[in-house]
Amino acid sequence: MRIAQLFLMAIIFVLLWFALHHRSSTEARAFRRIAFLGLAFLIILAVIFPGTLTAIANTFGIGRGADLVIYLVAIGLLFFSVSTYLKFGDMDRRITLLSRHIALLESKGDIGRVDPDELPKP
């Protein structure tokens, strides 16, 4: 196996682990921002100096700079989907808890019933 393959797979596993365990921590936010800036920097670099990127790619055993960008974008996309999926799950849970609290208050007659038609439509 080539260095690039090992390296990319290692990145995927580290990111997945990170997404699952540190989803709302300060480190995770900082990490996401660094990754975002890094990717943006790489893309700019690729546009201005296509040759440099290929040189970097070659040191990892990847033939072309464009391929390196594709791999990194694929990893970024995977990371983004997982963390978004988890984030939506967390949000769902919070909305559910809030709604349950309201529903129980309503059913005891403490407050009036929420009319679903009055809720903002998504």
Among 24, 25, 84, 99, binds other proteins (CB under 8 A): 99
| Cα 40 from Cα 11, distance rounded (Å) | 18
**Which of positions 66-95 make contact with other proteins (CB under 8 A)?**
82, 85-86, 89, 92-93, 95
| Cα 102 from Cα 96, distance rounded (Å) | 10
Residue 96 touches other proteins, criterion: CB under 8 A: yes
| Cα 56 from Cα 46, distance rounded (Å) | 11
R_g of the chain, CA atoms, integer Å: 22
Q: CB 90 → other proteins: shortest distance, Å? A: 10
| Cα 37 from Cα 29, distance rounded (Å) | 12
Closer CB to other proteins, 38 or 106, in the complex: 106
Interacting residues with other proteins (CB under 8 A): 20, 82, 85-86, 89, 92-93, 95-96, 99-100, 102-104, 106-108, 113-114, 116, 119
